[in-house]
Amino acid sequence: MTLLSNAVAEVTDDGVLVRGVDVPLVLSVDGHYVWSLTPARDGRPARGGLLVPWPAVLRPFLEGRARVRIADVRGEVVLHDADVVLGSGRGRIEIVDRSGHPLCIDKVGHLTRSFEATGEEVRDEILAGTQRALRDLREFAGVEAYLNYGALLGAVREGRMLAHDSDTDVCYLSRHSSPADVITESYAVERVMRERGWSLLRMSGGDIKLLLPLSDGRVCHIDVFVAFFAPTVGAGPFFQLGNRSGDLAREAIVPVSTITLHGYEFPAPADPEAMLAFVYGPHWRVPDPSFRYADPPAGVRRLDGWLRGFRTHMGGWTGWYQGPARKVPRKGSPFARWVHRQLPKGEKIVDLGTGTGRDALFLARRGRDVRAVDFSRASVATVRRRAARSGLSDRVVADQLILGELRSTLLLAARLARDPHHLYARHLLGALDTAATDQLWLLARTALRWGGRLFLEFAAAGDGVPEPEPAGLLRRLDPEIVADRIRAAGGVVEHLTVGEGTDLRGRPDPRTARMRVAWPVVPVPVERNPAHARP
């Protein structure tokens, strides 16, 4: 690795152009750490050097003037330290969150607050929270939990939190080796952590994210990753989420040791150095804030297959709800009006994939009780807020449904078995993968046994019609293939038309399919369920 004496860096609207450098660099704006870059890895040849483009998440901030410093990791060789003008040049460049806290880019490319920009008091809250998480995992969930990743690296190498780190990660060594058992154990861990008062998100079959509210208004994420030994061929045998896989001896992990960080004691792997070499490679002792994992593809493929798949597009949809979805009309869609007209007064509806809740609220305003469900928490929050504002909270129940998760689907099916609802899904089908679609049919078959109907609207495939928005999240489907799948799942397609309709944003779409589907009625003993009055 070299840093030549004539090394230079230039800062432009396109990115950072460097010459004579192939070591990781650290970029600060007005004295705050913002970004680490490795030109040989991140850049492309341009004007006799390497141009490293600005990360997309930084671009919205790059308007105005600021002092930009670019140096090697130790800060000994400075390649650039001067005022720069970007974009229109008006105003001061401020890379901060809404409360004015400085932001930086973490090692997976997200914009976040770093410990460098975190006060001592807040840092103590994070460490105390991490300590509590580890205690709950060990004492109450009964798993061999230990501190890992950035916090462990900081503790062992520098005796403090790493300046460029933003959250803490913990792992536990599963006592199981079969992925199915590892996942079942993770569900049990989740239940215990919820009982212990943690608010959390499930990220995969093997990791959850604990949400720790901080006094500065931020929420710190503590990832709880599973690690396990799986008897596999050609990969592993040791697997540890995020995406690590390879060889590590069990003795390097358990029995756990103890490590101290800023006065807080944590359980750590038995051999922290061996764990750090496994995670960060043999050069882990040399600071490199632009470090990226080089995970064996065979291991990633296995972890993807075993543990992931039900929330692949959740981030994409959340981004859509926070941006373009603001342009979705507030009034009910033509499809909602069409459905409403067909149903007897007062019969209830589940709005599957409710999105902004426009149709759920429309149907509630027409006197129906509506259960509005979506896999995106951003959507559920929006619908709850809008229902409250419209005085419809008693008519609209908003909740999360993950159709890619069997548990989530079965739970709604069980609830609906005693509480008859029709099912309504507008522009949902084109967003589902095969597994989630199959579970939609399972839900319909069980929830509509009383004689209810499933109403579907989706963008239909055809020659020359553009792909629907949001691109990459929604696709067109062949209505005949959909009808075949429904019939294979036991449904009866009572109505199928393809014609002009509207897309998610309310704009005209030349090919939109509408369907009404029924499933065979299964008699339910009346005395057990008097609500099933409809034949």
Q: Which residues bind other proteins (CB under 8 A)?
A: 178-181, 183-184, 187, 191, 205, 301-302, 304-307, 309-310, 405-407, 410-411, 414, 435
Helix (H, G, I), strand (E, B) or coil at 300: helix
Which residue, 98 or 528, has its beta carbon nearer to other proteins? 528
Which residue, 382 or 408, has its beta carbon nearer to other proteins? 408
Rounded-to-integer distance, Cα 57 and Cα 50, Å? 21
Q: H or E segment at 319?
A: helix 314-322
Which residue, 231 or 346, has its beta carbon nearer to other proteins? 231
Which residue, 54 or 225, has its beta carbon nearer to other proteins? 225
Which residue, 246 or 309, has its beta carbon nearer to other proteins? 309
- Bin 109: left if φ > 0, else alpha if -120 < ψ < 50, else beta: left
E strands within 375-419?
396-400
- Shortest distance in whole angstroms from residue 17 CB to other proteins: 40
Tokens of 358: 């426009």
- Shortest distance in whole angstroms from residue 11 CB to other proteins: 44
- Shortest distance in whole angstroms from residue 190 CB to other proteins: 10
Rounded-to-integer distance, Cα 530 and Cα 368, Å? 19
DSSP letters, 133-181, are HHHIIIIIS--EEEEEHHHHHIIIIISS--TT--SEEEEEE-S--SHHH
HSE-up (13 A, CA, CB side) for residue 320: 18
Tokens of 534: 């409809």
- Shortest distance in whole angstroms from residue 224 CB to other proteins: 17
- Shortest distance in whole angstroms from residue 179 CB to other proteins: 4
- Shortest distance in whole angstroms from residue 527 CB to other proteins: 12
Which residue, 341 or 528, has its beta carbon nearer to other proteins? 528
Q: Look up tokens 């009808």; give the residue.
A: 483
- Shortest distance in whole angstroms from residue 30 CB to other proteins: 47
- Shortest distance in whole angstroms from residue 410 CB to other proteins: 6
Angle, alpha carbons 264-155-235 (nearest 5°): 120
Which residue, 128 or 488, has its beta carbon nearer to other proteins? 488
Cβ–Cβ under 8 Å, residues 456 and 514: yes
Q: Which residue type, as a one-letter code, is found at position 41? A: R
3-state helix, strand, coil in the chain (%, to 5): 30, 30, 40
Cα dihedral 173, 178, 183, 184 sign: negative
Which residue, 183 or 461, has its beta carbon nearer to other proteins? 183
Which residue, 382 or 439, has its beta carbon nearer to other proteins? 439
Which among 201, 195, 246, 238 has a CA at the least distance from the CA of 219?
201
- Shortest distance in whole angstroms from residue 311 CB to other proteins: 12
User: Would you give the distance in Å from CA 146 to the centre of its chain?
Assistant: 24
Which residue, 195 or 467, has its beta carbon nearer to other proteins? 195
- Shortest distance in whole angstroms from residue 306 CB to other proteins: 5
Give 343's contacts (C-beta < 8 A, 6+ positions apart): 349, 368, 422, 453
